């Protein structure tokens, strides 16, 4: 019950009550965040993948929380150093905990939107129908909107928490933007490696595409732009 | 300059007194509940916010289900036959399904505003919103019935029901705004986003449960379609 109460306070964004949690050495709150991210993202990921196939749902349910944990752990050292260099006064552990808490908010928002996503999925033209590309586009568009909203809210909360913790608002903004840039840069590439999430109608259901490490997100965007302009 | 002087322009405006309307009488009956829903909604919303028991929630849910079912009969009179049974069932159960789909996101989005809410209290306010929506639709029922007897256009009668539903819902959603006033929530962006989601889910529900107005060989659709495509098909006679 204590953990549930804390998750609700986290959603409310009461920085004065949240800030002391970063001082705690007790790993229970960290574990609560990890469980919330795993459950929330797995639930939403399961719904996202369900349009393609039940097996894809299981794969995406595993990959969505994995993407978040890999991004957090991959950038943990860099984020901790940036926090100290840019004058936030936060330790490595506190930086990691603050970022994990913002992902927890995003996971809770996505979990709460899962019934709506499931309803959209129920109404989307299925894979076997002639309008399957419409179904794929609708699923993709709604997922992008939901994830963008969850990410936006979670980052706003993170900025507010940093403004409460950092000695100056300028330091808070510097740390926030540096963390965001690093997490987006690595997160985009990791999501490329871990693709597919929804699953293209014409491609087989796979946990990872063949040769997942070949190519990268930015190269793909560059090639797509070049193709568009040529 | 006296810092406590209310004319001091440097001071923020004084905090208004807490909004605590007079409570409802203990174990208020259905009559009192409906009376306060129409005349003094802030009393009812405050009572639901306290969420001492689920009695009011259940009574309001019954009012909403019965109201939607009655309005559904009026919708069914357009086509007659089995639509007289199918339309009320679809309208009332569709509304219930919409509440169940949207309640989890309302709870989290309400928390995001910074408000301290209980799930039961929020469910009560959402059900009260639907109850008011259903009551107003009942008020519109004679108008809708007259038009349903005097036209054969599915597109026209569908659009009319939609407009009446939107007007009623706009009044119903005032309860949610009242609830936010009571909780002194200033940042309402998340609740507005949720309202947009709720309206979209409701509109899609009408397409997912079609036909509600016209006739069909099947009770439920065999083809999945989004509401905009369905409307375009009915309005312009296009097939996608």
Q: What is the pLDDT of residues B47-68, one digit of tens each?
A: 888 877 788 899 999 999 999 9
From B193, B207, B226, residue closest to A138, measured CB to CB: B226
Please state, in angstroms and rounded to a whole number, the distance separating the CA atoms of residues B21 and B17.
Answer: 11
Digit-coded pLDDT (tens) for B71-118: 999 999 998 888 899 999 999 999 999 999 999 999 999 999 988 888
Say if CB B127 and CB B100 are below 8 A apart. no
Give chain B's radius of gyration (CA, Å).
21
A-to-B residue pairs, Cβ atoms closer than 8 angstroms: 66
Residue B43: predicted pLDDT: 87
Q: Does B115 contact chain A (CB < 8 Å)?
A: yes
Say if CB B222 and CB B209 are below 8 A apart. no
pLDDT at B1 over 70: no
Interface of A with B in 130-169 (CB under 8 A): 131, 135, 138, 149, 153
Q: How confident is the model over B22-33, as a mean pLDDT?
A: 81
Q: Does B100 contact chain A (CB < 8 Å)?
A: yes
Most A-contacting residue of B224, B227, B228, B240 (CB-CB within 10 A), to test interface: B224
For residue A163, give every residue at least 6 positions away whose Cβ sits within 8 Å of its Cβ, in sequence order, or none.
A15, A169, A172
Tens place of pLDDT for every residue, chain A, 230 residues?
788 999 999 999 889 999 999 998 888 999 999 999 999 999 999 999 998 899 999 999 999 999 999 999 999 999 999 999 898 989 999 999 999 999 999 999 999 999 999 999 999 888 888 778 888 888 888 999 999 999 999 999 999 999 999 999 999 999 999 999 999 999 988 998 998 988 887 888 889 888 888 777 888 788 878 877 77
Q: Does A123 contact chain B (CB < 8 Å)?
A: yes
Digit-coded pLDDT (tens) for B118-131: 899 999 999 999 99
Number of Cβ atoms within 10 Å of the Cβ of B177: 15
What's the token pair of residue B1?
A: 């300059």
Digit-coded pLDDT (tens) for B175-186: 999 999 888 888
pTM for the whole structure? 0.85
* Mean of the per-residue pLDDT values of chain B: 86
Say if CB B125 and CB B168 are below 8 A apart. no
How far B165 CA sits from the closest chain A CA (Å)?
Answer: 21
ipTM for this model: 0.82
């Amino acid at each position: 019950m204590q953990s549930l109460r804390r998750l609700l306070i986290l959603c409310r964004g009461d920085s004065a009550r949240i800030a002391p949690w970063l001082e705690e050495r007790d790993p229970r709150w960290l574990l609560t965040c990890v469980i919330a991210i795993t459950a929330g993202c797995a639930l939403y990921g399961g719904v996202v993948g369900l349009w393609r196939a039940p097996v894809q749902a299981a794969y995406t349910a595993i990959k969505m929380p994995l993407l978040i944990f890999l991004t957090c752990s991959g950038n943990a050292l860099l984020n901790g150093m940036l926090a100290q260099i840019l004058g936030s006064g936060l330790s490595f552990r506190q930086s990691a905990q603050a970022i994990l808490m913002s992902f927890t908010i995003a996971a809770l928002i996505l979990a709460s939107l899962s019934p709506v996503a499931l309803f959209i999925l129920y109404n989307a033209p299925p894979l076997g129908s002639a309008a399957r590309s419409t179904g794929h586009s609708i699923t993709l568009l709604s997922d992008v909107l939901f994830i963008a909203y969850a990410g936006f809210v979670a980052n706003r909360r993170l900025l507010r928490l940093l403004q409460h913790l950092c000695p100056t608002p300028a330091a808070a903004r510097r740390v926030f933007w540096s963390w965001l840039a690093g997490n987006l840069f690595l997160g985009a590439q990791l999501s490329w490696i871990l693709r597919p999430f929804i699953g293209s109608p014409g491609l087989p259901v796979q946990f990872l595409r063949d040769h997942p490490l070949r190519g990268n997100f930015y190269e793909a965007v560059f090639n797509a732009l070049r193709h568009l302009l040529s | 300059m006296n810092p406590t002087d209310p004319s001091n322009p440097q001071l923020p405006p004084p905090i208004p007194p807490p909004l605590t309307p007079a409570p409802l009488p203990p174990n208020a009956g259905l009559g009192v509940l409906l009376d306060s829903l129409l005349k003094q909604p802030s009393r009812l919303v405050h009572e639901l916010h306290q969420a001492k028991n689920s009695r009011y929630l259940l009574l309001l849910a019954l009012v909403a289900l019965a109201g939607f079912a009655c309005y559904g009969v009026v919708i069914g009179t357009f086509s007659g036959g089995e639509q007289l049974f199918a339309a009320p069932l679809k309208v009332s159960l569709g509304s219930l399904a919409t509440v169940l789909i949207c309640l989890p996101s309302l709870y989290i989005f309400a928390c995001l505003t910074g408000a301290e809410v209980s799930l039961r209290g929020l469910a009560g306010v959402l059900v009260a919103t639907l109850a008011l929506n259903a009551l107003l639709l009942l008020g519109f029922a004679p108008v809708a019935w007259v038009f349903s007897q005097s036209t054969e256009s599915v597109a026209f009668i569908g659009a009319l029901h939609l407009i009446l539903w939107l007007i009623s819902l706009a009044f119903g959603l005032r309860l949610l705004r009242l609830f936010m006033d009571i909780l002194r929530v200033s940042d309402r962006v998340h609740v507005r986003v949720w309202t947009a989601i709720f309206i979209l889910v409701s509109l899609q529900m009408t397409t997912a449960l079609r036909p509600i107005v016209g006739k069909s060989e099947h009770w439920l659709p065999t083809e999945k379609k989004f509401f905009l495509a369905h409307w375009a098909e009915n309005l312009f006679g296009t097939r996608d």
